[in-house]
């Protein structure tokens, strides 16, 4: 019996193990083991910052699954991310209880301020963590399913799909800015106190959230890798390169695209749910169309269609953003635009593509052929 391609090759497993050790052992160790006055101890503010980077990496991975392997350039992934974040934010707001400014056990402070008399129905059951986590997956998934079913059955592709996903994101941003939506208006949701009974600002809680995010990113990478090395993955690559031929051969192109689109949206929602307790706020600004465009830049910089490259691109660009917005905040947007232009013109395959060009042996390990890759 013919065996399918391995999930990861030897090099891939070594890289994955090294990344796991770095994320789950080295960083937590530097945050806790050295004495507080030691130069080796990781500053407390870096733990949630690294956790935020890992959430962005999960977001880039989700986009790369549909853009790099199925040719679906969605500029609405930021909307799915924000919806997942709002689901977690609603749970965290319900945990505040009487510790809010107005001391109301049932209504969040902004609802008391706006003279809401009772808790709106979308907030029901968000006092329970399992329900909030399920909703962080289901709400983006349902929106993606409805949107994708209409778009893919109508054979909307290319730039037209990108435009309507961007329009969807913008419409949601305008809706969530309204106070009568019941989601905090332009201020959003913030001032969280605890999660699952643990103080959200405590170092141990922050470290746990970081570790959970790192483990989730690793699991999501393996899941996406499994998909792209399966028969479905080969169909997705064929869809990306010659959709009409795939349709002629009798495959359900709409069904395959809808599946990965919904899965990508759910991964984005999960990233948003992990992001909010580490950052401490969620507001309509997360729906901004520019955020979704920035996700595409992360993927392009790292290497579209490589999975590992998407993660690398998200980490590299956001590290540069953190440094530049502190050193020269007015220059960051110009640098980001120039970076996108340079990558498009000079490095169409991103950082991993450059590595492949410099070292053919390394390239075969890092940049996938049509059947898959080791990393």
CB 122 within 8 A of CB 132: no
Task: Quick: pLDDT tens for 184-193.
Answer: 889 999 989 9
CB 88 within 8 A of CB 293: no
Mean pLDDT score of the chain: 88
Would you kindly state where each structural domain of the chain is located, as residue ranges?
Answer: 10-366
Q: Among 320, 294, 297, 319, which residue's Cα sits nearest to residue 309?
A: 297
pLDDT at 374: 37
276 has pLDDT over 90: yes
Task: Quick: pLDDT tens for 184-224.
Answer: 889 999 989 999 989 999 999 999 999 999 999 999 999 99
246 against 362, higher pLDDT: 246
DSSP letters, 80-98, are HHHHHHHHHHHHHHHTTGG
CB 352 within 8 A of CB 309: yes
Look up residue 199 and give its DSSP letter. Answer: E
Distances (CA, A) of 242 to 70, 152, 177, 304: 10, 15, 41, 18
336 has pLDDT over 70: yes
pLDDT at 80: 97
Residues with Cβ within 8 Å of residue 33, at least 6 apart in sequence: none
Look up residue 369 and give its DSSP letter. Answer: B
The pTM of this model reads: 0.93
Task: Quick: pLDDT tens for 131-159.
Answer: 999 999 999 999 999 999 999 999 888 89
Most confident of 106-110, 267-271, 331-335: 267-271
Is residue 71 within a helix (H) or strand (E), and if so which, with residue range?
none
- Across the range 33-54, mean pLDDT stands at 86
Backbone angles phi, psi at 210, to 5 degrees: -60, -45
- Placement of tokens 């435009």 in the chain: 163
Please state whether 155 falls in left (phi above 0), alpha (psi between -120 and 50) or beta.
left
Please state whether 42 falls in left (phi above 0), alpha (psi between -120 and 50) or beta.
beta
Count other Cβ atoms within 10 Å, centred on residue 34: 13
Task: Quick: pLDDT tens for 110-121.
Answer: 898 888 888 999
pLDDT at 272: 97
């Amino acid at each position: 019996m013919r065996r399918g391609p391995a999930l990861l090759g030897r090099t891939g497993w070594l890289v994955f193990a090294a990344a796991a050790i770095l994320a789950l052992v080295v960083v937590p160790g530097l945050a806790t083991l050295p004495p507080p006055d030691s130069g080796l101890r990781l500053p407390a503010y870096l733990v949630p910052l690294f956790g935020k980077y890992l959430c962005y990496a999960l977001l880039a991975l989700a986009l790369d699954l549909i853009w790099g392997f199925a040719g679906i350039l969605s500029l609405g992934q930021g909307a799915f991310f924000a919806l997942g974040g709002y689901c977690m934010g609603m749970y965290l707001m319900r945990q505040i209880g009487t510790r809010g400014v107005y001391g109301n056990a049932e209504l969040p402070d902004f609802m008391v301020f706006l003279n809401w008399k009772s808790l709106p129905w979308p907030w029901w059951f968000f006092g329970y963590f399992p329900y909030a986590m399920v909703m962080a997956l289901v709400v983006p998934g349902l929106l993606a399913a409805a949107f994708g079913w209409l778009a893919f059955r109508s054979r909307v592709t290319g730039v037209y799909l990108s435009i309507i996903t961007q329009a969807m994101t913008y419409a949601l941003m305008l809706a969530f800015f309204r106070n009568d939506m019941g989601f905090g208006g332009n201020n959003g949701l913030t001032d969280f106190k605890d999660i699952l009974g643990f103080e959200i600002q405590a170092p141990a809680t922050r470290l746990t959230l970081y570790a959970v995010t790192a483990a989730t990113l690793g699991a999501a990478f393996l899941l996406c890798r499994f998909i792209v090395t399966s028969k479905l993955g080969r169909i997705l690559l064929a869809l990306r390169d010659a959709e009409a031929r795939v349709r002629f051969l009798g495959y359900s192109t709409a069904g395959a695209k809808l599946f990965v689109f919904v899965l990508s949206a759910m991964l984005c929602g999960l990233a948003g749910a992990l992001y909010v307790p580490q950052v401490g706020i969620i507001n309509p600004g997360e729906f901004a169309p520019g955020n979704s465009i920035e996700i595409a830049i992360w993927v392009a910089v790292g290497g579209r269609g490589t999975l590992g490259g998407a993660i690398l691109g998200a980490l590299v660009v956001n590290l540069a953003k953190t440094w530049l917005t502190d050193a020269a905040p007015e220059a960051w947007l110009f640098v980001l635009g120039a970076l996108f232009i340079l990558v498009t013109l000079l490095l169409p395959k991103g950082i991993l593509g450059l590595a492949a060009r410099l070292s053919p042996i390394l390239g075969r390990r890092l940049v996938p052929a049509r059947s898959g890759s080791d990393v």
